[in-house]
Amino acid sequence: MTLPRDDGFFMPAEWMPHSRCWMAWPCRQSLWGDRLEMAQDAYAEVANAIAAFEPVTMIANPEDLAEVSLRCGSGVGCLPIPHDDSWTRDTGPSFLVHERGDLAGVAWRFNAWGQKYRDYDKDQQTARSILEHLDVQVFEADMVLEGGSIHVDGEGTLLTSEQCLLNPNRNPDLSRSDIEEKLRANLGVEKIIWLNEGLIDDETDGHVDNLACFAAPGVVLALSSEDSNDENYAALQDNISRLRSSSDAKGRPLEVIEVPQPDRMNNDHGDRLSRSYINFYIANGGIVMPSFEDAQDGQAFEIISDAFPNRTVVSVSATDIAYGGGGIHCITQQQPLI
């Protein structure tokens, strides 16, 4: 089996130019319940915010295509691709590039975040469907992985969390070193930086896109808490400590910029919503970041604006998305420009 690394492919940083953004229309009634229409409105708002910077394609189940096109408006393209739900970061491909100008993608195995949902047969095929639509090379990975569990700097460094990638509900037969080798082989990275635990009640089991991301080579934004009584405090402090003691694949010590977490907000079952300002989308010339009508919204906006001085930062309300278990980064997938 040919591996991306052996063919010279690698995963570029998210701030590199995009040809488009991929999203998927919310449709899992059992997840969203009576919040489904509000979630759909929120997705449409995110799509249109991103469309101000780059093209957006919303995949929709074929029977929903006309309605989705109407709801999203003329600024968002729609494509009929069957799917079970709407987390394109996790079900879509991890796009790869080659220095000669080729585009490809990894289609990871998908098991609905450790079998948390029964119906995911369509989502298992989403990555391949998108890559086949684009007529680019498909690399089938022999490992369960969601795109929200990793973040790269495009220069050989990858961030992830032990809680997610080492969870026995994903790849019980793979050791830590096995997983590291598969990340290197499929994404062209050299160094893996492991964070530990994710947010409390996060059904993704600690996706890193709630915890930390690269803002530039050697620069990491990390979610933090100053309240020692907060249930996320210890995990977030540990993650920041790990980052501050790490260097990237080029040997650069990491500069860590802390971003405060929003205050606690519960879902209808009393579980804490996984709300994070780190869960934003980097677009061509812009950042589309979540807001939560929270006391920390303004400070988070300023920190992220300072971290991306050459991009226009736009806030979009993301609480309705958080009720489904994710954020703006979770529902988007960038396609690199070739």
Give me the pLDDT at residue 306, please.
98
How far is the first Cα of the chain from the last one, in angstroms, to the nearest whole number? 25
Please give the pLDDT value at position 144.
98
> What pLDDT score does 237 carry?
98
Residue 2's pLDDT band (cuts 50, 70, 90): confident
CA atoms within 13 A on the CB side of 90: 30
Overall average pLDDT of the 250-267 stretch = 97
Mean pLDDT calculated for residue range 138-158: 98
pLDDT digits (tens, 9 = 90+) for 269-308: 999 999 999 999 999 999 999 999 999 999 999 999 999 9
DSSP per-residue codes, 196-217: ----TT-TTSS-GGGTEEEEET
pLDDT score at 308: 98
β-strand 219-224 against 255-260: which pairing, if any?
parallel
| pTM > 0.85: yes or no | yes
To the nearest 10 degrees (0 to 180), the angle between helices 36-51 and 65-72 is 60
* CA atoms of 283 and 59, how far apart (whole Å): 19
- Residue 186 pairs in a beta bridge with none
- For residues 268 and 225, the model is more confident at 225
Residues 99, 167: Cα–Cα separation, whole Å: 34
Q: What is the pLDDT of residues 186-216, one digit of tens each?
A: 999 999 999 999 999 999 999 999 999 999 9
Q: Which residue numbers are catalytic?
A: 330
Average the pLDDT over 319-326 and give the result.
Answer: 97
pLDDT-based confidence at residue 80 (cuts at 50, 70, 90)? very high
pLDDT exceeds cutoff 80 at 47:
yes
Structure tokens at 83: 């799917």
Residue 1 pLDDT greater than 80, yes or no: no
- Hey, what are 172's tokens? 């019980």
Q: Domains along the chain?
A: 5-336 (3.75.10.10)
Using CA atoms, how far apart are residues 277 and 140, in angstroms rounded to an integer? 32
**Pairing state of beta strands 286-291 and 137-144?**
unpaired
Task: Tell me what percent of the residues of the chain surpass a pLDDT of 90.
Answer: 98
Q: What integer is the mean pLDDT of 96-119?
A: 96
For residue 130, the surrounding DSSP H or E stretch is helix 123-134
Averaged pLDDT for residues 212-238: 98
* Mean pLDDT estimate for the chain: 97
DSSP summary character for residue 308? S
